Structure 1
Amino acid sequence: MPKRGYHHGNLRQALVEAALVLIAEKGPTGFTLSEAAKAAGVTPAAVYRHFQGREDLIAEAARQGYEIFADLMDYAFDEGRPTAVAAFEATGRAYLAFAGKYPGHYVAMFESGISVNRSPELAVAAARARGVLERAAEKLSERIPPGKRPPAAMFSAHIWAMSHGVVELYARGAPGRRSPFAAEELLEAGIGIYLRGLGLIAPD
């Protein structure tokens, strides 16, 4: 069977999709460009028309991941929800959902060692994702007296860190890391405790 080579409809995206599968299966350093090219049905030389090396290919996978992630978070923080607190909690659930549905993107974004500043496009996508959470935190912070109001960036960073920790420890199926509670329940409880500490939720 002849290789599709440059006649591939969208070779660049085909390589990214092949890399995403390999990243999810083998990790960001567990595959070669030749393997990605083979999975995409092209010769290794064809890869270099689009990417200078494996790191550039992973960076593009990460960029696309941040775009998807930002869209999900933006959708989750819907101001049409009953309360701003409910909307904010939804962003945490969206984080868990993203990690489960897009494992290749997740690893490329957070475990590949690729800097978000590797390219201007990646930096913009990452900043947009971070900005969604910061806007959500800023909206919630409006209910806190100015003198007691934490910076929105710190507020969102705490929730991001909590969400990421639950994903890493309990939501990715790592052996020996089983929790007696579902990851969603752990995160919801953690966010609840945090928001109560800020006075945004009444004590039980």
Structure 2
Amino acid sequence: MDRKSYHHGNLRQALVEATAVLVEQLGPHAFTLAEAARRAGVSPAAPYRHFKGRDELIEEVARQGFLDFATRLEVAFDEGRPRVLTAFLRMGQAYLDFASDRPGHYMAMFESGVSIAGNAQLAQASERAQGTLLRAAEALASRLPPDQRPPARMVANHVWAMSHGVVELFSRGKPGGRSSVEPAEMLESGVIIYLRGLGLIPE
């Protein structure tokens, strides 16, 4: 990335994009603000016009990641069309695709240790993504009598954890990636077994 990247005044976004690449290459804890500035083609002092420090910059990378992530989940679920289960499983693929397409943002979101609760805009973006999965879990449970429905947030959190586990163990070149089962197949089969165990889908 060079000075042409922000000659229209978009230095803030140039720094975010440079940081996402650095996080992907070096990990969320190894990059420095000075290196982000160098990649963006500016002086080491320039980032301080837009960010108080390194943590605030990586929080912005995470925030933008959550917004894209939430949009992908919403598009995948599509309000449960044409069938809720089909739509629910599409969300799992969207999760894996996001982690593959935007690894720097994914790592900033989930592996950097940023305080989501301490940043209102970041928290809002994260909640939007979680909200989509929560609505999907509620839609799956709607076929059951109210007193037989498992807590929707529990279901959403379990599926989120399962998705994250598949990414961490079997995607992005991790040691477990040598599995003979594709990550998408592993996630889908695991989710189906889990949902069936809760009675959310028929045998």
Question: Common fold, TM-score beyond 0.5?
Answer: yes
Q: Name the residue aligned to 1:191.
A: 191
8 Å contact 2:80–2:88 — kept in the other structure? no
Where structure 2 has 5 or more consecutive residues not aligned to the other structure, the ranges are: none
2:26 and 2:118 mapped to 1: Cα distance? 22
Cα–Cα, structure 1 residues 133 and 118, in superposed 2: closer, same or farther, change >3 Å?
same
- Cα offsets for 1:4-51 (capped at 9, x unmatched): 7x9552000000000000000001111111110011011011110001
Which consecutive segments of 4 or more residues in structure 1 shift more than 3 A? none
Structure 1 residue 140 displacement after superposition? 1.1
Give yes or no for contact 1:144–1:198 (8 Å, CA) kept in 2: no
Aligned to 2:135: 135
Partner of 1:15: 15
Do 1:67 and 1:129's aligned partners in 2 also have CA atoms closer than 8 Å? yes
1:152 offset after TM fit, Å? Answer: 1.2
In the TM superposition, residue 177 of structure 1 has moved relative to its aligned partner by 4.1
What value does the CA root-mean-square deviation take over the aligned residues? Answer: 1.8
Amino acid in the other structure paired with 1:150: P
Task: Indicate if the aligned counterparts of 1:3 and 1:43 stay in contact, CA closer than 8 A.
Answer: no
1:103-182 equivalent positions in 2, closer than 5 A? 103-182=103-182
TM-aligned CA distance change 1:124 to 1:193, over 3 Å: same
CA–CA separation in structure 1 for the residues paired with 2:18 and 2:28: 12
> Which has the larger share of helix?
2
- Percent identical across equivalent pairs? 60
- The TM-score normalised by the length of structure 1 is 0.93
Q: Does 1:73 align with 2:73?
A: yes
1:51 aligns with 51
Distance in 1 (alpha carbons) for counterparts of 2:3 and 2:162: 46
d(CA) in 1 for partners of 2:140 and 2:176?
Answer: 36
Q: Classify the secondary structure of the residue corresponding to 1:77.
A: helix
TM-score by length of 2: 0.94
